[in-house]
Structure 1
Amino acid sequence: MNARVLISVMDSAKFNSKSPTIRRILKEAQELASSPSPDYCAAPSESDLFEWHFTFKGPPNSVYSQGIYHGRIVLPPAYPLRPPSFRFMTPSGRFETNREICLSISGHHEETWQPAWGIRTALVALRSFMETDAKGQLGGLDTTDQIRKHLAAESLSYLCPACGKTNADIIKDCHEQSESNGILSSGAPEIEVPSELKMGWKDEMSPETTVGKSPDQPAEATPPAQSDTHSGSLRPESNLNRTASAVRATNSRRSPTQNGPAVSMRVGQAQHPSLPPGVPRWLDQLIIFLIVILAAAILHRLMSTAATTV
């Protein structure tokens, strides 16, 4: 896990250097190799650019301070849009071994990972999580501090089959590289762990993109969508608009033959108003005829009276 590994990977023709994901991974690998830390290191394997190995010292002033812990990092094809997953290979008494860990805002939805974060930030955050109280915490193992100190002492001799070195030898190389680069004298670069960054087991994370709430803190980064009931109470006119649109859509789907009888019926009703039930139409016409005859007789009588008077 040194610069030679990075050169070997970069010289390989097994990947597309034009891919944004590949360029991002190579950039981070180069940055970690050129600015190593005496407390941790990470590098891609010689055969797979998406599989890394990491090693770091236990957090100071903790039961893990005398230990050195090793593990694997798996980068997803969509990295950095999706977070890397970490898997501890060295027993620590804090985390389960060989179980994938993902980092995100909520700790339950990997989609809340921020692409601006990188492997170095995630590695420093994971190291800082070790010194938190494991009791009641996600991934915390129920064991004693004495066992954790015993595992820390044994961790130095752990030998990774892929790396071919013990944890103690790997950290020794990191220390020497930092010293040769002048980092020990000038001080290692400070990496600020985002306060909203949390960890979670990958096999327990939600596959959906909708961000939920973690048990201890609500995920405020993505507010929940409003329900239909809530939207209706705020904007009642939206229901009327939807009803009017539905009526227009229904009318537009009617065929001309369906519209024809309806129009004819409405015209017929306007020309011939409906009569009270039981009254025949000829009786109505007879009444009108008698009224006309009576009016003509009255008019004739008035004209005759006027002529006699004259």
Structure 2
Amino acid sequence: MTTRGQFNTKNPTIKRILKEASELANHASPDYHAEPLDDNLFEWHFTLRGPPAPSPYAGGLYHGRIILPAQYPLRPPSFRFVTPTGRFEVNREICLSISGHHEESWQPAWGIRTALVAIRSFMDTDAKGQVGGIDSTDAARRQMARESGAHRCAACGGRANAEIMREREELAREAEAAAEGEKRRDDEVPEELRLAYREDLAAREGEEGERAQAGSSASAGAGAGAASAAAAAAAGSLDGASTSAAPPATETGRAAPSGGSTTASAPATAQASTAPAELAPRAPPAAVPAPTRTTVPPAPALRQQQRPLDEGVPAWIDKAIYGVLGALAFMILRKFF
């Protein structure tokens, strides 16, 4: 792997890609190998050994491409096989997903090594009519496995798949010898990791959205019907309770018979008073009084009572006033005449 100065090494995605490339180069595996291109960190080429016998892919050496998204490792990488396998279509994009649903569920803790191990372990599974899957015979798959080692890739320096895996086997043996015979730990595939095709993921997501929309509309309609039925039942129960709880009308205006019939009615009254309480009709529930409209009577108009002018005035006051007026008139006339 050469130094790639055109990339910003401070970018988290670039850091992660360079770290995985270094880890795969320094910790070789005899079963797979992957490295980025010299001019593009987001395009990798991988070489994968088929599952061991009795798998029909045993002995096969398959080559393919890995495309990393710009959001890696938040989104999973995609894979394409460029050599025939008898299991996957050639140059058909494969997406890793969680339980075959949404690729956004990919866990960033996983990497290219985990994805390669997953693809290798899933090669023995059946296509089951999946779009992009191939249902081939075991004989055809064994024939493809024998011919896969001679495939050469121009982007990988023109080396054949057999040459690439032979180098990885030697590096893996040297690493085991340097570790003083410590057995190499096999990589494990997470149980949640599954394979799916990108077209299938989009179609399945659309079907799930339609089913969810149909289920929500059906539940809304059922809820409205249940609410209306409950309201009708409540109204019916209130009408029945008011009808059954009304006590029977008694005739109080009937005239009492004369003579000995008065004494005969006394035991009947006593018997009626000692009747069991449970035979008496239950009191109807207190009905909520209907709101009445309260009208305020207009305030009475206040009449201004006029008192007589001469009420409470002594008679001599008038005479005094007249006398003063006459004296003034006399003085005025005397002055001028």
Band of TM-score, shorter chain? 0.5 to 0.7
Of residues 100, 103, 128, the one that matches 1:107 is 100
Identity of aligned residues (%): 53
> Within 1, Cα distance between the matches of 2:206 and 2:60?
39
Q: Is the 8 A contact 2:101 2:205 kept in 1?
A: no
For the residue of structure 1 that corresponds to 2:163, the secondary structure is helix
> Within 2, Cα distance between the matches of 1:139 and 1:66?
23
Q: Is the 8 A contact 2:95 2:198 kept in 1?
A: yes
Q: Cα distance 1:208–1:136, how it changes in 2: closer, same or farther (>3 A)?
A: closer
Counterpart code for 2:32? Y
- Structure 2 residue 182 is matched with structure 1 residue 189: no
Q: Is the 8 A contact 1:29 1:43 kept in 2?
A: yes
Which range is displaced more, 135-144 or 12-21? Answer: 135-144
Q: Cα distance 1:70–1:192, how it changes in 2: closer, same or farther (>3 A)?
A: same
TM norm structure 1: 0.64
* Structure 2 unaligned spans of 5+: 228-293, 304-337
Matches within 5 A, 1:252-271: none
Which is higher, the Rg of structure 1 or of structure 2?
A: 2
Q: Cα distance 1:211–1:21, how it changes in 2: closer, same or farther (>3 A)?
A: farther
Q: Say what the alpha-carbon RMSD is for the aligned residues.
A: 3.5
In the alignment, what sits opposite 1:16?
A: 8
Which range is displaced more, 61-70 or 129-138? Answer: 129-138
Q: Is the 8 A contact 2:47 2:63 kept in 1?
A: yes
Q: CA deviation at 1:112?
A: 1.1
For the residue of structure 2 that corresponds to 1:206, the secondary structure is helix
Q: CA deviation at 1:142?
A: 2.0
In the alignment, what sits opposite 1:84?
A: 77
Q: Is the 8 A contact 2:126 2:135 kept in 1?
A: no
Q: Is the 8 A contact 2:57 2:142 kept in 1?
A: yes
> Within 2, Cα distance between the matches of 1:148 and 1:87?
18
> Within 2, Cα distance between the matches of 1:211 and 1:109?
13
For the residue of structure 1 that corresponds to 2:45, the secondary structure is strand
TM norm structure 2: 0.59
Of residues 3, 16, 19, the one that matches 1:27 is 19
Counterpart code for 2:200? E
Matches within 5 A, 1:61-210: 61=53, 62-136=55-129, 139-163=132-156, 164-182=158-176, 185-206=181-202
Q: Cα distance 1:18–1:57, how it changes in 2: closer, same or farther (>3 A)?
A: same
- Structure 2 residue 84 is matched with structure 1 residue 55: no
Q: CA deviation at 1:206?
A: 2.8
Q: Cα distance 1:115–1:207, how it changes in 2: closer, same or farther (>3 A)?
A: farther
